[in-house]
Structure 1
Amino acid sequence: MNRNADLALALLAAALILSLSWAVPWLRFVMTVALAKGLAVLGILLLLRAGQVSFGHALYLALAAYVVAFAAARVPEVLVLLPLAALSAAAIGLVVGLFVSRYRAIFFGMLNLALSMVFYSILDKFYEVTRGGDGVRVATTKFAGASLSPEQQSWALLCLALVLAITFGAFVRRYLSSPLGSALSALKTREARLEFMGIPARRVLLSAYVISAFMAGCGGVLIALSTRHVTPALAYWTASGELVFIAVLGGAGSVFGPFLGALAYELTRTYAAALVADAWQMILGAVLLIVILFAPGGLWGVGRALVLRGRQT
């Protein structure tokens, strides 16, 4: 698709999400959380282009959420909390990235997982600071200095999530088509050639890693503001597993994949948990298995194939 077609599709998807959220009010929360996770998965998409998978990216989502939880009481302005928490996640991502960018394949993925679990343990054990498993409640916040009602705040968060999704989607699309994005893709199969050309592979991977941490941080901010309560579970390995699950479900062929996968994941989980409370994990596992076996390109690949087939006929 060209840039104009992608923008039109993004705006159409945003209008559809807003329409559904207006028709079914409880969907506002589900859509906001889905878009927040989609932002984190969009960062994982960058790493997948380099052939790397992070099994611990929930670290940055949780870190940003806790920054919001601790700072909201003193700085209640969302437009300040968002960059503060996201930049904090990016700063830690830079420190961690300097270390993990030395490694590849399973070592890269497992080191991220280990560091995420270390952070989870810190959140869980230092009760006097983090309140452990009880978590921290997020104080009431303001948007552009205005105090909003719960309903107005839910709409504001959904709109903010849509703006971030469209903005970062456009950025990642441009990033992947740039020379730096081409180097990132080449790192997957031609890392030695990159080095021979004088392009440091570690720096290429590090830049993508920091950007992915920043986007995960934005997702963490949205989750913290939506749920109004953050716990160490946000950094647990299952939370990182969810992000990888969504990446596979949505497909890595387009920037739309992470958000499509996140929306499908959250809606499936919501309805499955309501209808079959004791077996919703099995349903999600079956969905993922079907996608892996019959649609390796994910939901985005399925949709693209259907559109192309319709044009041919």
Structure 2
Amino acid sequence: MRSQLDRTEKLLIVGLPILIALGFILPEWIVNYIQVSLGTGLVALGVMIQMRAGLVSFGQGLYFCIGGYAAGMAGKFLGISDIFLLLACGLIASVTIAFAAGFLLRRYREIFFAMLSLALSMILFGLLSKLEMLGSTDGFNLPSATYLGWAPEGDTAKHALYVATCIPTIICAFLLNRYLRSPMGYIGEALRENEIRLEYLGTSAHRAVHIKYVIAAGVSGIGGVLWALALGHVDPEMTNWTTSGQFVFISILSGTGNIVAPLFGTFILEIVRVYAVELSPNTWQMILGTLMLLTIIFLPRGLWSLIQEKKHAKKSGGEK
């Protein structure tokens, strides 16, 4: 693994204090959308690293939900409110279940992988919808987060949770970027291009898929905890197929060219959805569908490709 920082990692390091500062400057409604977007953005990152390996998960909401429910159950039944313990609960639960499910999913590719991941997600949706002890279809509320014994209140609690959302998100993005730059990360691209050749080189394609699946689940579980704490509530819709489809939509909209892209894409989607509902309350889904169709036709590599093309144009101009 390379030790020097690349441009993306420098951007993340510089962007963290700026992102935190925005939480004290911008209007509260925008800050709320940023905070929610960071949680769901981590799930989109999980989808993205799988897409780089040629795998499309239509059931990533499974681990988004597991992370949120693990944190919620820890608070509801064990009285845990410390954010570090809640994040650990969500991460451990997601990784454990993904490790077990990975032995099945790593054998499949393309539409079979997508449908199996969706099936697992919908199984959990059905179970949670029937469990009255977990609120059935209504879900249940989470306790207010504490920080190593510190329990802020009012605006201080909001700012503390915002900062506590920004830091894990940037750390996860930084580590995922390092992972994608590592030999194991590059194996994903080889897996997408030619799995048979990868096997001839002595690398197990099944093991590579399994590792990526578990990593994506862990990141999604953390995103689920942060999202649930931001809203203070969990419900079975977190693992519904519509939620999982949203994460795939974000990955397609933003592109897979950079680890930062899904984080921006999530926020863009949230803002577009707000104004789409305001403009057309009954047909706002049509606006999102049109946006996705135009992106696929004119920007098949996502919105991030606009930035990449601009960089290439400047580089070509400088060489001339």
**TM score, norm. by length of structure 2:** 0.92
Aligned match for 1:39, one of 39, 42, 47:
42
Q: Distance in 2 between the 1:165 and 1:156 partners?
A: 14
Which residue of 2 is the match for residue 131 of structure 1? 135
Distance change in 2, residues 1:5/1:194 (3 Å): closer
Q: Is the 8 A contact 2:140 2:235 kept in 1?
A: yes
Aligned match for 1:114, one of 112, 115, 119:
119
2:11 is aligned with 1:9:
yes
Moved more, 12-21 or 255-264: 12-21
Residue 13 of structure 1: how far off its partner (Å): 4.0
Distance change in 2, residues 1:139/1:118 (3 Å): same
2:26 is aligned with 1:23:
yes
Q: Distance in 2 between the 1:180 and 1:7 partners?
A: 18
Which residue of 2 is the match for residue 79 of structure 1? 84
Number of residues of Structure 1 aligned to a counterpart in Structure 2: 311
Which residue of 2 is the match for residue 142 of structure 1? 146
Aligned match for 1:96, one of 101, 105, 111:
101
**TM score, norm. by length of structure 1:** 0.93
Which residue of 2 is the match for residue 296 of structure 1? 300
Q: Is the 8 A contact 1:28 1:154 kept in 2?
A: no
Residue 19 of structure 1: how far off its partner (Å): 4.8
Amino acid at match of 2:105: V
Q: Is the 8 A contact 1:72 1:141 kept in 2?
A: no
Moved more, 196-205 or 6-15: 6-15
Residue 152 of structure 1: how far off its partner (Å): 2.3
Which residue of 1 is the match for residue 205 of structure 2? 201
Moved more, 237-246 or 30-39: 30-39
Residue 136 of structure 1: how far off its partner (Å): 0.8
The 5 Å alignment of 1:259-278 reads 259-278=263-282
Which residue of 1 is the match for residue 53 of structure 2? 50
2:175 is aligned with 1:171:
yes
Which residue of 2 is the match for residue 213 of structure 1? 217
Q: Distance in 2 between the 1:194 and 1:305 partners?
A: 30
Which residue of 2 is the match for residue 185 of structure 1? 189
Residue 310 of structure 1: how far off its partner (Å): 5.0
2:62 is aligned with 1:59:
yes
Q: Distance in 1 between the 2:276 and 2:269 partners?
A: 10
Moved more, 168-177 or 61-70: 168-177
Query: What secondary structure, in the 3-state scheme, does the structure 1 residue paired with 2:56 have?
Result: coil
Which segments of structure 1 move beyond 6 Å, counting only runs of 4 or more? none
Which residue of 2 is the match for residue 161 of structure 1? 165
Aligned match for 2:257, one of 253, 261, 264:
253
Residue 20 of structure 1: how far off its partner (Å): 4.3
Query: What secondary structure, in the 3-state scheme, does the structure 1 residue paired with 2:28 have?
Result: coil
Q: Is the 8 A contact 1:93 1:213 kept in 2?
A: yes
Residue 203 of structure 1: how far off its partner (Å): 0.6
Residue 290 of structure 1: how far off its partner (Å): 1.4
Residue 140 of structure 1: how far off its partner (Å): 2.4
Q: In the TM superposition, what whole-angstrom CA distance separates every residue of 1:161-216 from its partner, at most 9, and x where no partner exists?
A: 22222212221222112111122211112211222222111111101100000000
Query: What secondary structure, in the 3-state scheme, does the structure 1 residue paired with 2:303 have?
Result: helix
Q: In the TM superposition, what whole-angstrom CA distance separates every residue of 1:260-282 from its partner, at most 9, and x where no partner exists?
A: 11111111112222333222212
Q: Distance in 1 between the 2:155 and 2:93 partners?
A: 29
Q: In the TM superposition, what whole-angstrom CA distance separates every residue of 1:95-138 from its partner, at most 9, and x where no partner exists?
A: 111111110110000000011000000000122x2211111111
Q: Is the 8 A contact 1:29 1:154 kept in 2?
A: no
Residue 4 of structure 1: how far off its partner (Å): 4.5
> Identity rate of aligned residues, in percent?
33
Aligned match for 1:285, one of 272, 286, 289:
289
Q: Distance in 2 between the 1:296 and 1:151 partners?
A: 42
Moved more, 148-157 or 216-225: 148-157
Q: Distance in 2 between the 1:308 and 1:155 partners?
A: 39
Two-structure CA RMSD over aligned residues (Å): 1.8
Q: Is the 8 A contact 1:28 1:155 kept in 2?
A: no
Distance change in 2, residues 1:272/1:19 (3 Å): farther
Distance change in 2, residues 1:8/1:174 (3 Å): closer
Which residue of 2 is the match for residue 222 of structure 1? 226
